[in-house]
Amino acid sequence: MTEARGTSGSPPSTLAAERHRALLMRYASRLTDGDRCRAEDIVQETLLRAWKKAPVTGPGDDERLLAWLYTVARNLSIDMHRRDRSVPMGAVPPQLLNRAADGDLAEQVVNRQVVHEALTGLSDDHREVIVRIHLCDGSGGETARQIGVSPGTVKSRTYYALRALRRELAA
């Protein structure tokens, strides 16, 4: 079934969605705790999705369309929140950062910060190998299987990662 196009070349559901922009903006603003930039991103993406694949609506189907738009906006907000909470691959696991060590608490904090900064100076591949082998006590073969490379590649990455870490820590 083909949709009749409005005067601007947009499907009727898109034109109806545009009419709800202000309502969507208020709703997205509540979802983002007042963060206007994030709310605008959500509304823009919601309207883009409405333009691409909004449910076909007839006259008087405005409430159904608005409910669909609210659902899309809510799901986008949840996705955005989850993305913000995610940890980049290769980052140091929190339980390793919280592991108790001998010595003064202030010294532990400084050491953790220095190691963390040195690790962030490495490439993602090098950081992942160092974390898996030296911080998680993994073997070279085990690490190679986990990240899908050969054991020789793990050895090489470890060697160059340790050299880079030494340079970072010396600086």
The answer to whether residues 76 and 105 belong to one domain is no
Q: pLDDT band for 19, please (50, 70, 90 cuts).
A: confident
* Residues contacting residue 77 through CB under 8 Å, at least 6 positions apart: 28, 31, 32, 42
Cβ neighbour number for residue 128 with a 10 Å cutoff: 20
Q: By the 8 A CB rule, do 124 and 158 touch?
A: no
- Do residues 104 and 163 both lie within one domain? yes
Interior angle at CA 136, CA 142 and CA 126, nearest 5 = 75
CA angle 100, 124, 171 (to 5 degrees): 65
Report the CATH number at residue 115: 1.10.10.10
27 — pLDDT class (breaks 50, 70, 90)? very high
Identify whether 3 is part of a domain: no
**Residue 91 carries which DSSP code?**
P
Domain that holds residue 64: 12-85
- The verdict on 98 and 74 lying in the same domain is no
Residue 126, both tokens: 């090098």
Domains contained in the chain, number: 2
Burial of 101 (0-12, 13-18, 19+ CB in 10 A): exposed
The domain boundary residue, chosen from 52, 85, 118: 85
The separation between CA 154 and the C-alpha centre of its own chain, rounded to angstroms, equals: 27
Mean pLDDT of 24-44: 90
Residues 103 and 165 in one domain: yes
Q: What is the pTM of this model?
A: 0.43
Average pLDDT over residues 85-101: 57
> Do residues 98 and 163 both lie within one domain?
yes
Predicted confidence (pLDDT) per residue in 119-162, tens digit: 888 888 888 898 888 888 888 888 888 888 888 899 998 899 88
pLDDT-based confidence at 104, cuts 50/70/90? low
The reply to whether 2 falls in a domain is no
